[in-house]
Amino acid sequence: MKRFLPLALMIGGFAAHAAAFENPRQAPGYMQSSWSTVHTDSSNSDHVPLAMTSNVRQRWHVLKGAGIWTPPVVAADGTVYAVTGEGPGHSHLHAISPAGDILWQSAPQQSLSDFDSLAVFSAPILDEDGDIYIGDGNQFWAFHPDGKVKWVTELPGLGIQGGFVTGMFVDGYVGGVSIDGKVMLLHRSSGELAMPVLDLPGAAGPLGPPIPDPLWKNLVDPAIRDQVWEILRGHRYEITNTPAVHPRTGRIYVIGAGADESEGHF
């Protein structure tokens, strides 16, 4: 199960050992680093072929008091990209050096036209050029490694209501499967739609129990607290997890809620 963390830290030498390596579980387009997407590679393997030690120690601690829902990703040069969701007045995408210094942050959210707090349920994905791609509540964003915005695509104009639980690279395109069951692929260079949006044959998921009253208070934007809880638990929405992309064929695998309570779709 995903866990909502109250802080970001780096233990031992993980960031220092993020040099590029060939990963057979990684589809073309993704950066060849130790952790370039939410489950390390396009296969969602969560496998890192790095030698580890039991003699670990905390090297640094940043983003104190912020909530992090998805794992940070690590570029080939050791830069860590983490996403938080504190709400208006706060930055939500953070680039952190291997030494624990903040290199840059997205502009603070002033309105939903900015990079907003709903990005917290997505991890960034890194391409082979080092560019960073991630969705928020109503947009899909691309950033250059220096933090400059490459492009922004408005999702409601494409008929997509809600964000993505982490994006994907497929056949040279970037996109994802939205929480309302829409498959979107964009040109990586411009953010323009590459092909018609595909509406999966599912429906909204079942409703679940309300969020426990004290959970995540003061860690996440109060406006999205219920929604983040529902996505974490797999309730209400059609898609609540990250698709996998086959490393050789590019075939997309995604699990979602079916048209009625007796079935799902894959």
Predicted confidence at residue 204, as pLDDT, reads 85
CB 242 within 8 A of CB 38: yes
CB 41 within 8 A of CB 25: yes
Residue 135 C-alpha from the chain's centroid:
7
CB 45 within 8 A of CB 34: no
Listed as ranges, residues in the chain with pLDDT below 70 are: 1-21, 260-266
Predicted confidence at residue 258, as pLDDT, reads 74
Predicted confidence at residue 138, as pLDDT, reads 95
**Which CA distances in Å does 119 have to 93, 124, 265?**
8, 9, 25
Predicted confidence at residue 19, as pLDDT, reads 45
AA identity, residue 71:
P
Torsion of CA 83, 15, 177, 205, to 10 degrees: -70
Going by DSSP bridges, is the β-strand pair 252-253/256-257 parallel, antiparallel, or unpaired? Answer: unpaired
- Return the closest-CA partner of residue 93 out of 102, 234, 84, 48: 84
- Residue 69, token pair as written in the block: 């829902």
DSSP string over the chain: ----BSSEEEETTTGGG------TTPPTTB--SSBSSTTSSTT----------S---EEEEESTT--B-S--EE-TTS-EEEE----TTS--EEEE-TTS-EEEEPPPPSSTTSS-GGGGG---EEBTT--EEEE-SSEEEEE-TTS-EEEEEESGGGT--S-BSS-EEETTEEEEEBTTSEEEEEETTT--B-SPPEE-S--PPPP-PPPPTTTTTTTS-TTTHHHHHHHHHT-SSS--S--EE-TTT--EE--EE-SSTT-EE-
- Residue 90, token pair as written in the block: 């706060």
The reported pTM is 0.88
Predicted confidence at residue 149, as pLDDT, reads 98
Predicted confidence at residue 22, as pLDDT, reads 74
- Residue 195, token pair as written in the block: 């092909």
